[in-house]
């Protein structure tokens, strides 16, 4: 099953030993809300309807290339309690001369910090955790892998009712 290959939130996936996560390439990331709370919106008839927090998350994700010169964005989806996205890290000499090329962890950390601050400001609270610690990543190795992950991301909302994180699957 494709889902098991791409994303298993209960599995602790260590970083690939010896891999430099600022290496140019495409990376699939999944980031969950704190406690996997359904804070980002809801799916109705296979369509994601974003909450205010979900809108902020989408804005902050789309804004990443403005803050990290070596980042290009690919497929992305906001789900009720997590996001999936593909970050492409560029590493040409041109970018290295203009600015530091940031690594995957630093980019994700910046996204989580920036979006959390904006969401907490919207909710009129300070310092409340919004994202779960860490994130899941997968190094995209070839075009077949990239195509499969893009399809997974695009069709994720339509499969939500069967997702192991869906309330009906959790006995809620």
Nearest residue to 85 (alpha-carbon basis) of 127, 137, 132? 137
Model-level pTM? Answer: 0.83
> Residue 161: which residues within 8 A CB-CB, separation 6 or more?
43, 168
What's the confidence (pLDDT) of residue 34? 96
Domains of the chain: 22-154 (3.30.70.1290)
What's the confidence (pLDDT) of residue 164? 76
Distance from C-alpha of 172 to C-alpha of 170, rounded to nearest angstrom: 6
The answer to whether 73 and 170 are in contact (CB under 8 A) is: no
Which residue has 């690939």 as its token pair? 16
What's the confidence (pLDDT) of residue 101? 78
What's the confidence (pLDDT) of residue 74? 97
Indicate the DSSP class of residue 33: B
What's the confidence (pLDDT) of residue 7? 47
For 40, counting Cβ atoms within 10 Å of its Cβ (0-12 exposed, 13-18 middle, 19+ buried), the class is buried
Indicate the DSSP class of residue 63: T
Each residue's pLDDT, cut to its tens digit, for the chain (172 residues) gives 344 445 455 555 455 556 555 678 899 999 999 999 999 999 999 999 999 999 999 999 999 999 998 899 999 999 999 999 999 998 765 555 566 778 999 999 999 999 999 999 999 999 899 999 999 999 999 999 999 999 999 999 998 888 777 777 666 6
What does residue 116 show for φ and ψ, rounded to 5 degrees?
Answer: -60, -45
Sequence-ordered strand ranges (E) for 5-161:
25-32, 41-44, 47-50, 71-78, 82-89, 136-140
């Amino acid at each position: 099953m494709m889902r098991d290959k791409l994303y298993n939130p209960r599995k602790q996936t260590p970083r690939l030993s010896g891999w430099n996560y600022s290496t140019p390439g495409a990376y699939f990331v999944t980031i969950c809300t704190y406690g996997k709370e359904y804070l980002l919106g809801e799916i109705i008839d296979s369509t994601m309807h974003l909450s205010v927090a979900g809108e902020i998350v989408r804005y902050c994700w789309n804004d990443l290339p403005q803050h990290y010169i070596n980042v290009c964005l690919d497929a992305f989806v906001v789900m009720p309690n997590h996001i999936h996205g593909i970050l492409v890290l560029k590493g040409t000499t041109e970018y290295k001369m203009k600015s530091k090329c940031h690594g995957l962890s630093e980019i994700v950390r910046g996204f989580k910090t920036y979006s959390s601050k904006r969401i907490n400001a919207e909710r009129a609270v300070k310092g409340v955790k919004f994202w779960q610690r860490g994130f899941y990543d997968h190094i995209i190795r070839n075009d077949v892998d990239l195509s499969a992950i893009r399809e997974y991301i695009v069709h994720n909302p339509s499969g939500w009712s069967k997702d192991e994180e869906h309330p009906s699957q959790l006995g809620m």
